[in-house]
Amino acid sequence: PVFAVGTLDGTVRFIHVARQKGSIDLSGDGIQITMTILKEERLCTHPITCLSYNPRKRKLAAGSFSSSMAFVFCTEPNNLCIVGLAETADSKPLSSLVWSMDEYSCLLVGSSEGRMSCVDTIAMSGSIEPTPPLWTSCLPKSDRFCKLANAHGAKGNNFFCASSNENKGITCYSFPGMKGLTEDSTIETMHRMHNRFNKEGSI
């Protein structure tokens, strides 16, 4: 298997793990593990704090909460490289990265102010300029400073969940998909779950 690691110096490393002799004994039962760095990319000078993987399209999005920029990697075995950039809608620091789990391979980029942009990663071609979003939107005011998480509904319905420091719970939203939204429109709320302990929500 291959896994990705984000480090404090702004680097993402792709590491291959194999059971071979002459390396690290992690289990104590004689099994030897070899770890090989396949690729490393210095993305920024800030710690990498957000990694989000799309297993359907084999793409990884990476970014830092101290920057407005996200980097999208192709993780195909023979084509491990950066394919494009995505930026938050308001150029504020990144708060989250969420993939739409459908055939379109859209990436939701959330900012610390609750603004969201939807980026088509299929159209990315290695440009050093951020890919223009398909649409931008905003979460309800109560869900500013949100953390987003993927969720896949029944019968292929696409939705995502958000938690915030303000609403003390978790809210589910429908994913507009490729059809987009009008400028500055608010995404439809599907369901809200309040935390009965009145603590910060987490996903």
Provide the pLDDT confidence category of residue 43 given band limits of 50, 70 and 90. very high
Record the pTM.
0.78
Neighbours of 9 (CB within 10 A): 12
Provide the pLDDT confidence category of residue 203 given band limits of 50, 70 and 90. very low
pLDDT for 68: 95
pLDDT for 174: 72
Q: Which helix (H) or strand (E) element contains residue 137?
A: strand 135-138
Average pLDDT over residues 136-164: 62
Average pLDDT over residues 154-182: 64
Average pLDDT over residues 156-166: 67
Q: What's the pLDDT tens digit per position in 184-201? A: 555 666 666 554 444 444
57 vs 201, more confident: 57
